[in-house]
Amino acid sequence: MDRVTDIAIVGAGAAGLWAAGVCAASGRQTLVLEKTPRTGTKVLASGGSRCNLTTTLGPRAASQLFGPAGARFLSPAFGNLPPAAVRERFHALGVPTKTEPLFEKVFPASDSARDVRNALLSRAQGAGAEILTERPVRHVAPVEGGWSLSTGSMTVRCRALLLCPGGKSVPRSGTTGDGYAWLRSLGLKVVDPVPALVPLRSAEAWVTALTGLTVDAEVRVGKIRRRRPVLFTHKGLSGPGAMDLSVHMARGASVLHLDLLPDLSWEALREQLIAAGARKGAPGLVRVLPLQRRLVEAVALQAGLTNGNPRISDLTRTQRHRLVETIKSLAIPISGTTGFKAAEVTAGGLALGEVDRKTMEVRSHPGLYVFGELLDVAGPIGGLNFQAAFATAELAAIHASRG
């Protein structure tokens, strides 16, 4: 069966549904192809089925959390559709939102991801978009006057092709990395995808012995720092602090450093220990440090002390120095991540230099637009990746509809 349409969109996730609503509302004939039996599968599962749909941050602050290259690339998209505008769109669609100050999160007031998915789906279909499920795309190619794609059972010809099939994270939702092969077949540069926002593995017994313990820490990989909670697990580390920087571990970094007392400077901590050691009946380390006992004992042993709870007055100057150094920069050996199955997003994808950041059109292939998770952009926890999906989808849809 052959089909001809003005605009074809591959992928009916957050980005695809958003783009479909914009394209169809412009009066363009819009066809959406989704490989799985339902739309918005990852939306439904996101945020523990609550869907952290954007951030309370302004557009500049939000884009900067994607790193220098990501910030520059996303600046036009976030300027055109800032986080506040995303909230307004959902309010207009009948989905009121609420904020959670911790991590600047925005959720639907109902705490239901289904409300978010349904609003996006209703908007697209109400505007006239046709959405076909269980239509896995096998091949895309440029043809005279536009693009052609094949699902095996049907061939579609279109003037503009919008690709947003997702990355490789949560493959059970259908995001199995199909789009990378299409991009490479067109001669485009693809940055190797790696799991991001994913728990970390550590083979160190002392790390896994701290399972269940959470600490508010500053997490560091090289020069990159994040102040977020870290959770010790039976596999290694999880929680926002570890997951926000997990992309660096997926790309080869092997050690994560934790500042366990980020509100205390090195000098202030040193003076605090000296003062505690000078008191009559100087206490043990567990009573001095505002950390859980298991963690204090582990830190003491990692600092080379033979006792997990030494009396402060018994520490030599050298031992005290090593202890401060360990508390302020605890080295956690990382052996890898828990993989794409546990990752919330994918880092890597179409190299940003291949795309016009003001339109999302691929520079070397007129009429081809790439956006959402298929791009080489990935942000930290806090609704930022949905914000990027919606904002890049908006630009792609606007410009594809003008053609």
On whether the CB atoms of residues 215 and 227 are closer than 8 A, the answer is no
Q: Are residues 292 and 370 in the same domain?
A: no
On whether the CB atoms of residues 295 and 215 are closer than 8 A, the answer is yes
Q: What is the pLDDT of residue 281?
A: 74
Q: Are residues 64 and 182 in the same domain?
A: yes
Q: Are residues 129 and 219 in the same domain?
A: no
User: Cβ contacts of residue 218 below 8 Å, gap of 6+?
Assistant: 225, 226, 227, 258, 259, 262
Positive or negative, the CA dihedral 82, 86, 91, 93 is positive
The string of DSSP letters for 204-217 reads: -HHHHTTTT-EEEE
**What is the Cα–Cα distance from 246 to 258, expressed in whole angstroms?**
14
**What is the Cα–Cα distance from 52 to 113, expressed in whole angstroms?**
8
Q: Are residues 179 and 291 in the same domain?
A: no
On whether the CB atoms of residues 349 and 373 are closer than 8 A, the answer is yes
Q: Which helix (H) or strand (E) holds 115?
A: helix 113-127
Q: Are residues 398 and 356 in the same domain?
A: yes
Q: What is the pLDDT of residue 279?
A: 82
What's the structural domain count of the chain?
A: 2
Q: Are residues 145 and 280 in the same domain?
A: no
The residue segments making up the domain with residue 307 are 199-338
Q: Are residues 170 and 267 in the same domain?
A: no
**Locus of tokens 């009396």:** 311
User: Cβ contacts of residue 267 below 8 Å, gap of 6+?
Assistant: none
CATH number at residue 15: 3.50.50.60
Q: What is the pLDDT of residue 172?
A: 87
Q: Are residues 75 and 147 in the same domain?
A: yes
Q: Are residues 185 and 220 in the same domain?
A: no
Pairing of strands 345-350, 190-196: antiparallel
User: Cβ contacts of residue 382 below 8 Å, gap of 6+?
Assistant: 52, 55, 57, 65, 103, 104, 105
Q: Indicate the residue among 338, 354, 369 that finishes a domain.
A: 338
Q: Are residues 263 and 126 in the same domain?
A: no
CATH number at residue 320: 2.40.30.10
Look up the pTM and report it. Answer: 0.95
Q: Indicate the residue among 338, 355, 371 that finishes a domain.
A: 338
Q: Are residues 74 and 190 in the same domain?
A: yes
pLDDT per position in the chain (403 positions), as tens? 799 999 999 999 999 999 999 999 999 999 999 999 999 999 999 999 999 999 999 999 999 999 999 999 999 999 999 999 999 999 999 999 999 988 899 999 999 999 999 999 999 999 999 999 999 999 999 999 999 999 988 999 999 999 999 999 988 888 899 999 999 999 999 999 999 999 999 999 999 999 999 999 999 999 999 999 999 999 999 999 999 999 999 999 999 999 999 999 999 999 999 999 888 777 899 999 999 999 999 999 999 999 999 999 999 999 999 999 999 999 999 999 999 999 999 999 999 999 999 999 999 999 999 999 999 999 999 999 999 999 999 999 999 999 7
CA 164 to chain centre: 16
Note the helical H segments in 253-358: 266-278, 285-288, 293-302, 317-328
Q: How many CB atoms lie within 10 A of CB 308?
A: 17
Q: What is the pLDDT of residue 280?
A: 74
Q: Are residues 299 and 228 in the same domain?
A: yes
